[in-house]
């Protein structure tokens, strides 16, 4: 069994600790939990390891958020991973900070990274984990908020939230999507 775990974000130091890059932060935490590291590869940074008799391919696309689909499709094809074994991790403005929402399908919710993945894969049916970043911004300031740094309070809460995301990833690969949604949604 192979799984492609995709953390959405933007490459580059200027985006490193921003809300929009929570997907990168989650896959970094997953790799760290297994003592794995990332290496530059085609269309992104990749880490591959085995855990509980499964192969995990972690991907941080280098295509920038709005073109994430190209990297996802390439690694699905290269590793022969079916869409049901892909787990896309992204930020979500509609959820309060730190809230997790796991689904097996759905709309892009206005998220350009998900929009591109759905366009390239030609389906809305792929598992995803949305990490709530809240919506504490004034009208017209959404881009600044999303690309802004975490507050001190959020930064203090992140380690526990990241651990919860790591646990949900293991659950997805070992217990299945349904059980994972029941155990982790809105926690």
Residues assigned a catalytic role: 20
Cβ contacts of residue 17 below 8 Å, gap of 6+? 149, 150
How many angstroms separate the CA atoms of 75 and 70, rounded?
9
Compute CA 130 distance to the chain's CA centroid, rounded to the nearest angstrom. Answer: 7
75 is written with which tokens?
């690694």
CB 184 within 8 A of CB 168: yes
Residue 126 DSSP class = S
Q: Are 102 and 185 in contact (CB under 8 A)?
A: yes
């Amino acid at each position: 069994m192979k799984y492609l775990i995709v953390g959405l974000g933007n490459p580059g130091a200027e985006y490193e600790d921003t809300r929009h890059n929570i997907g990168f932060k989650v896959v970094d935490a997953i790799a760290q939990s297994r003592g794995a590291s990332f290496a530059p590869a085609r269309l992104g940074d990749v880490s591959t390891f085995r855990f509980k008799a499964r192969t995990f391919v972690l991907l941080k696309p280098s295509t920038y958020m709005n073109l994430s689909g190209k990297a996802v499709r390439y690694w699905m094809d290269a590793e022969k991973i079916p869409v049901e074994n892909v787990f896309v991790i992204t930020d979500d403005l509609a959820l309060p900070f730190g809230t997790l929402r796991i689904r097996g399908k759905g709309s892009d919710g206005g998220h350009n990274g998900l929009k591109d993945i759905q366009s390239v894969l030609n389906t809305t049916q792929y598992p995803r984990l949305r990490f709530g970043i809240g919506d504490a911004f004034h009208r017209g300031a959404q881009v600044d908020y999303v690309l802004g740094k975490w507050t001190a309070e959020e930064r203090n809460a992140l380690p526990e939230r990241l651990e919860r995301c790591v646990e949900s990833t293991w659950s997805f690969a070992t217990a299945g999507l349904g059980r994972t949604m029941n155990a982790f949604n809105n926690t």
